[in-house]
């Protein structure tokens, strides 16, 4: 009885064990199949992306080559030329900054006015660099002694610019009523520019020493500018004689100011 029981148990084990093993093998195979399918899908995906990248690269190189050809052979606007222009304006800007720094070293006693000049110059450089070019501005020639007094502010006709000639003291630009309104409305920065131009030219030319000193002092006097504006307002339609009177009066005032500063 016990023996037969043992036999049935053995038989059961013999039947069940291969089943379990088959199950395990089946599961393992499914698992490996799944992993392999996943890897293959990933490979396909990567291949697709590779092809896409290649297409993009092809397009890009084609585009670059086409652009180069257009630049080289088009008779319209040359992009290289534009780039050169930008580079040159950049160089001009650096040159101006260097000059401003040198001026600051040379004239430390004019510090307050000069700081204003430097900032005005920098602002003009930053905001309107192309207009700063000397090839786009008119020269200021004195109406009486024909002295060259630097450049007019950007976009300004020379006859509309009011200034005092540093050599003979003649007040230029009074005859044009439209010029006066433009001048009074003009910002401080451009006025500073204007006076700066006079300073640069005054120091470059062979003008007498006291004359150049005068040009240095003049832009500093705010009260001088005010009195000049007032006199301009009062003599809108005056003759040249009256202008000369104003000029001499203004110059006397400037002289007394220079003396008091010394």
**Interacting residues toward Zn ion by CB under 5 A:** 142, 144-145, 147, 165, 167-168, 170
- In angstroms, what is the minimal distance from the CB of 247 to Zn ion? 9
Q: Give the Cα separation of 198 and 42 in Å (integer).
A: 75
Toward Zn ion, which CB reaches closer, 103 or 251?
Answer: 251
Toward Zn ion, which CB reaches closer, 114 or 167?
Answer: 167
Toward Zn ion, which CB reaches closer, 106 or 145?
Answer: 145
CB atoms within 10 A of CB 255: 14
CB atoms within 10 A of CB 93: 15
Toward Zn ion, which CB reaches closer, 172 or 180?
Answer: 172
- In angstroms, what is the minimal distance from the CB of 145 to Zn ion? 3
- 103 neighbors 114 (Cβ within 8 angstroms): yes
Q: Give the Cα separation of 40 and 21 in Å (integer).
A: 28
DSSP track, 156-208: --GGG--EE-TTT--EES-S-HHHHHHHHHS-HHHHHHHHHHHHHHHHHS---
Q: Give the Cα separation of 149 and 147 in Å (integer).
A: 6
Q: Give the Cα separation of 205 and 61 in Å (integer).
A: 56
- In angstroms, what is the minimal distance from the CB of 202 to Zn ion? 12
- In angstroms, what is the minimal distance from the CB of 120 to Zn ion? 25
Toward Zn ion, which CB reaches closer, 183 or 198?
Answer: 198
In three-state secondary structure terms, 45 is helix
Q: Give the Cα separation of 42 and 38 in Å (integer).
A: 6
Toward Zn ion, which CB reaches closer, 169 or 189?
Answer: 169
- In angstroms, what is the minimal distance from the CB of 211 to Zn ion? 10
- In angstroms, what is the minimal distance from the CB of 141 to Zn ion? 9
Q: Give the Cα separation of 165 and 195 in Å (integer).
A: 11
């Amino acid at each position: 009885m016990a023996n037969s029981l043992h036999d049935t148990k053995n038989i059961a084990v013999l039947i069940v064990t291969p089943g379990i093993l088959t199950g395990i093998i089946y599961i393992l195979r499914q698992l490996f199949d799944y992993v392999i399918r996943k890897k293959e899908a990933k490979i396909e995906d990567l291949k697709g992306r590779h092809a896409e990248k290649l297409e993009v690269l092809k397009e890009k190189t084609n585009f670059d080559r086409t652009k180069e050809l257009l630049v080289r052979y088009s008779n319209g606007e040359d992009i290289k030329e534009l780039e050169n222009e930008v580079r040159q304006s950049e160089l001009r800007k650096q040159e101006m900054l260097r000059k401003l720094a040198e001026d600051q070293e040379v004239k430390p006693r004019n510090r307050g006015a000069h700081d204003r000049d430097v900032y005005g110059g920098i602002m003009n450089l930053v905001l309107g660099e192309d207009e700063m070019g000397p090839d786009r501005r008119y020269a200021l020639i004195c109406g009486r002694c024909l002295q060259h007094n630097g450049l007019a502010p950007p976009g300004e006709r020379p006859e509309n610019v009011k200034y005092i000639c540093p050599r003979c003291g003649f007040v230029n630009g009074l005859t044009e009523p439209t010029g006066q309104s433009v001048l009074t409305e003009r910002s401080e920065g451009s006025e500073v520019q204007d006076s700066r131009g006079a300073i640069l030219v005054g120091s470059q030319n062979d003008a007498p020493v006291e004359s150049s000193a005068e040009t240095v002092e003049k832009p500093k006097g705010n009260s001088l500018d005010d009195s000049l504006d007032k006199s301009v307002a009062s003599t809108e339609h005056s003759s040249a004689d009256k202008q000369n009177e104003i000029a001499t009066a203004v110059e006397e005032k400037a002289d007394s100011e220079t003396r008091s500063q010394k």
